[in-house]
Structure 1
Amino acid sequence: MAQDSSAPLWLFGDQLGPHVWDTDEFAGREIVLVESSRALGRKPFHRQKRHLLLSGMRHLAEQLGDRVTYLRTKTYREALDKVGRPVVVHQPTSFPASDLVQRFRTEGLVTEVRPTPTFALSKAEFDDWAGDRDSFRMEEFYRTQRERFDVLMEGTEPVGGTWNLDHDNRESPPKGAETLGVTPPWQPDEDEIDEQVRADLDAAGWPTVGDDGPRRFAVTHDEATEALRHFVQHRLDTFGPYEDAVLDEDWAMAHSLLSVPLNLGVLHPLEAVRAAEQAYHDGTARLASVEGFVRQILGWREYVWQLYWRFGRRYTRSNRLRARTPLPDWWTDLDGDAVTARCLSSALTDVRDRGWTHHIPRLMILGNHALQRGYQPAELNEWFATAFVDGFAWVMPANVIGMSQHADGGRMATKPYASGGAYIDRMTDFCSGCAFDPKVRVGERACPFTAGYWQFVHRNRELMESNHRTKRAVATMDRLKDLDALLEQESARERF
């Protein structure tokens, strides 16, 4: 089908930034935005996730005024029929949406599908780098990204002489502190659009999880730019040392809270990366903090996006550890009050109240618990994608199936991310106020993470023995004098 330079540009709800629609090619062109009630209501998304999506779309419509055709229909097909002429669209960020667009193209509703503009690296460039490899390591990709985009580089060498400053970013939380004491994160002022979104969600009756709450995240480019400026000026320098630390009373720590605007496509990743890099050059943020932030955005986030397409549709069905346990009701209901373990209760409560926790509660509390208990990986992946406000189809598979649950057998990570209570005790302040003791394996005071870790090692003995990074754990387990009692206790325990 011939290209039409005047065809309207149809935007999905995660393609809302000016780098998508305010380009030389699309300047002044009609924009189509669609609220599909079928798409919005098909899964039990977190209440605040739906709010952010609709708020972002409606704020963009207000900004663009007469340039926008804004349609509220049951289906996308119905909306495109109303447009009355073929549209151009950027490739969506999931397999199902891409399939939908291809069907529309075959039927003449879509005239052209352009590459996705919301990431730094194109899929074609990644494919050239990846070649015919099946297993990948992020560190190699990350170094290539730094070189390709000339970020934190001095000629051909990394600034400071080393690529990875993780060893400087593993501080435990300050002893006795309830918060880090940094300037609170930026938060938007809600307006009439948010008020109407809230009323519409109240009336919709869609299946949902989580509680309503104030809008905490940027959904426009102007808001995202302000949130980025605030983070870089007030929080970036502290971010690095306590990147992996958790405090019960400080839900955001020094994290940027930019995952939502990045994943809605209102902030381009290179905007965030360049702002952080400039802070290092200006002397307002230490190198380790800046490198850690760049690693998250230009390294890990881009890597996860590319592997979503590389690993393919069937990747979420991976289950190398044969984990079969269904998610319990208290988990899917986000009922932190039903959980005794303080760390697990807090993480679930954070998801209920905000639809968000940072990467350590996700990986080392929620993911660690699910790995130990053998929760079904595909079901867990879907839960993360729907219950988190920054969760999208492309975000979770490499994070959950690969990194968190090791269900892919090691394509993503060199070892399972399982740990006992000692790690949680070192990196959080939860254990001191908990009914369980991280040093105890058996009995009423036994920490479910400590006991659960040894249950996991026992259940996956062959895997752990064959991995040089985990084989020592098997030898330690074999020396436990209370192993039989521990296994008997853990096989029957339902209390956490």
Structure 2
Amino acid sequence: MTATHWLFGDQLGPHFTATAAGGTPRDTDWLIIEARSVFRRRRFHRAKAHLLLSAMRHRAAELGARYVRADTYRAGLAEAVGDAPVSVHHPTSRAALRLLDALPQVTVHPARGFLVDRREFARWAADHAPRRLRQEDFYRWVRADRRILMDGPDPAGGRWNHDHDNRQPPPRGARRLDVKPPYRPREDAIDEEVRADLDRWEREDGISFVGRDGPRTFPATRREALTALDHFVRDRLASFGAHEDAVLAEDPVMSHSLLSSSLNLGLLSPRECVARAEQAWRDGEVPLNSAEGFIRQICGWREYVWQLYWHFGEDYRHANALGHTEPLPRWFLELDADAVEARCLSTVLAQVRDTGWTHHIPRLMVLGSHALQYGWDPAAVTDWFHRSFVDGYDWVMLPNVVGMSQYADGGRMTTKPYTTGGAYLNRMSDLCGPCRYRPTARTGDDACPFTVGYWSFLHRHRERLAANARTAQAVRGLGRLDDLPEVLRLAAEHRTP
């Protein structure tokens, strides 16, 4: 008897179609549903929509899967199989899981695409309650339990974390890092079809996007994703670690892997990415700090965020411990980089507008920090990141934005708010030099919006932050600002540009 298995658009790699023994199941009809309602509900970045649809259609062609284009998932499922039974792997969003729970014909199998089963994490979390579930503790546990970058019972090289070596500013005077450019795929007939469909949706169906589309710069197939992984490990991983947290205006990619979208589409598995990086170090091809930094991003941070998305529950979505309610300004919603004078914001917004991507420091310390300083609604910020990034999914952005970027959970995920004044951006980037604002200026026409915003944020939440050991010293600095009233006035002006 032939069974039908439904693949969601982020379940596209071979580890989603393999049996437990690693083979491909026989007598299985593969089903992929393209639901247009997904794009009506949210105004996605067009490059993100293009990548997702291209990846889904490519995978359907590879598998010979039934590809159903429908208005909703329910309608597509009814068209494909009627009331016949269907299996599916656990989805990556709560909304999708609610849908599956409401469909009696659907059998949900355990999630794939992650290193740690949710039941394993629940046991680990129970062992660490009621203390904070620290990412570093989780990372070390995953490393030891999965034998990743270990020498016997000890971490390779004698240290778990090489973050101290991975915080160097960009090389003085450099406009770009001296590394080979990343792999970029070539578009094909499927991409042309996707672009024509997106044009038609905008023209005829009232579906709207933000950002620019094309040419496609991220992998949409397993073969492209493996090629991107090969190129990164061979050409870029060695230089990744040292400048992992640095920013160069003319080099938005630097040595970053650009593999997050491939991992989140399911085209790559975290296990193979981690294994490739570790082997490159053991073969003497890359330094340990680079291999460890990349591995930490995957089996530390990515895995941790996935687990917390489910562990914290649905109410976490509405967390707003700081009481921030300001709406997102129009220039931010429209990715209008030309409407912003601060060079850091303008540069990063242009990167998002043009590619749907920028690396983790611009996300956290430019976009997220600005939103936090000026009190933007964290739920709206989360939605913006979800819609605007090619690697953005609900499970990715909810903990990253609510917990880390916006500190809206009051410290359940991180020990302090991640925000600074302009001095940090000036040290870790080349963004401040040509800017009309001065990174250290708090007042006057050249006062930096980030420096002004930083002190305003500390003042607004001084009671809470004074009680935090990691921010108490900064709060005490407010007492030395004889120009604080002027700083707060300028912050109010910047809040509504």
TM over 0.5: yes
SS at match of 2:280: helix
C-alpha offsets along residues 92-136 of structure 1, whole Å, 9 cap, x if unaligned? 11011000011112xx3x1x1101111111111111111173631
Stretch of structure 1 that moved more, 347-356 or 478-487: 478-487
Q: Which whole-Å CA distance do the structure 1 matches of 2:284 and 2:496 have between them? A: 50
1:60 is aligned to 2:63: no
For 2:168, the equivalent position in structure 1 comes to: 171
Stretch of structure 1 that moved more, 112-121 or 32-41: 32-41
- Counterpart contact for 1:37–1:73, Cα < 8 Å: yes
Stretch of structure 1 that moved more, 283-292 or 201-210: 201-210
C-alpha offsets along residues 414-453 of structure 1, whole Å, 9 cap, x if unaligned? 0011100000000000110100001110010100101110
SS at match of 1:216: coil
Number of residues of Structure 1 aligned to a counterpart in Structure 2: 486
For 1:198, the equivalent position in structure 2 comes to: 195
1:127 is aligned to 2:122: yes
Q: Which whole-Å CA distance do the structure 2 matches of 1:53 and 1:271 have between them? A: 22
For 2:483, the equivalent position in structure 1 comes to: 482
Shift of 1:467: 0.8
Aligned with residue 113 of structure 1, among 108, 111, 120: 108
Q: Which whole-Å CA distance do the structure 2 matches of 1:26 and 1:371 have between them? A: 48
Q: Which amino acid aligns with 2:165?
A: D
C-alpha offsets along residues 359-391 of structure 1, whole Å, 9 cap, x if unaligned? 000000001100100000001001100111100
SS at match of 1:30: strand
Aligned with residue 15 of structure 1, among 11, 16, 20: 11
Q: Which amino acid aligns with 2:74?
A: R
SS at match of 2:87: strand
Give runs of aligned pairs for residues 305-454 of structure 1, distance below 5 A.
305-454=306-455
Stretch of structure 1 that moved more, 147-156 or 76-85: 76-85
Identity percentage of aligned residues: 53
For 1:226, the equivalent position in structure 2 comes to: 227
1:142 is aligned to 2:139: yes
Q: Which amino acid aligns with 2:108?
A: V
For 1:77, the equivalent position in structure 2 comes to: 74
Shift of 1:218: 1.1
- Counterpart contact for 2:374–2:495, Cα < 8 Å: no
Q: Which whole-Å CA distance do the structure 2 matches of 1:163 and 1:326 have between them? A: 41
> Which sections of structure 2, spanning at least 5 residues, go unmatched?
none
1:99 is aligned to 2:98: yes
- Counterpart contact for 2:239–2:290, Cα < 8 Å: yes
Q: Which whole-Å CA distance do the structure 2 matches of 1:414 and 1:460 have between them? A: 15
Q: Which whole-Å CA distance do the structure 1 matches of 2:311 and 2:25 have between them? A: 29
Q: Which whole-Å CA distance do the structure 2 matches of 1:449 and 1:200 have between them? A: 41
C-alpha offsets along residues 38-90 of structure 1, whole Å, 9 cap, x if unaligned? 1233210110111111111111111122xx11111112122222223221011
Q: TM-score, normalised by structure 1?
A: 0.96
SS at match of 1:35: strand
- Counterpart contact for 2:168–2:242, Cα < 8 Å: yes
Stretch of structure 1 that moved more, 73-82 or 259-268: 73-82
SS at match of 1:222: helix
C-alpha offsets along residues 278-306 of structure 1, whole Å, 9 cap, x if unaligned? 00001111000000000000110000000
C-alpha offsets along residues 124-166 of structure 1, whole Å, 9 cap, x if unaligned? 1111111173631100000011011111101110001010100
Q: Which whole-Å CA distance do the structure 2 matches of 1:463 and 1:348 have between them? A: 31
Aligned with residue 157 of structure 1, among 150, 154, 171: 154
Shift of 1:493: 3.4
Q: Which whole-Å CA distance do the structure 1 matches of 2:220 and 2:275 have between them? A: 20
SS at match of 2:78: helix
- Counterpart contact for 2:47–2:214, Cα < 8 Å: yes
Q: Which whole-Å CA distance do the structure 2 matches of 1:149 and 1:392 have between them? A: 26
Change (3 A) 1:27 1:346: farther
Shift of 1:26: 3.0
Q: Which whole-Å CA distance do the structure 2 matches of 1:77 and 1:472 have between them? A: 55
- Counterpart contact for 1:21–1:27, Cα < 8 Å: no
Q: Which amino acid aligns with 1:11?
A: L
Shift of 1:25: 6.5
C-alpha offsets along residues 332-363 of structure 1, whole Å, 9 cap, x if unaligned? 00001000000011111111100100000000
Q: Which whole-Å CA distance do the structure 2 matches of 1:77 and 1:467 have between them? A: 48
Q: TM-score, normalised by structure 2?
A: 0.96
Q: Which whole-Å CA distance do the structure 2 matches of 1:96 and 1:151 have between them? A: 33
Q: Which whole-Å CA distance do the structure 1 matches of 2:126 and 2:112 have between them? A: 22
- Counterpart contact for 1:187–1:216, Cα < 8 Å: yes
Q: Which whole-Å CA distance do the structure 2 matches of 1:300 and 1:307 have between them? A: 10
Q: Which whole-Å CA distance do the structure 2 matches of 1:189 and 1:130 have between them? A: 44
Q: Which amino acid aligns with 1:404?
A: S
Q: Which whole-Å CA distance do the structure 2 matches of 1:399 and 1:64 have between them? A: 34
Shift of 1:488: 2.2
Q: Which whole-Å CA distance do the structure 2 matches of 1:495 and 1:431 have between them? A: 22
Q: Which amino acid aligns with 1:199?
A: A
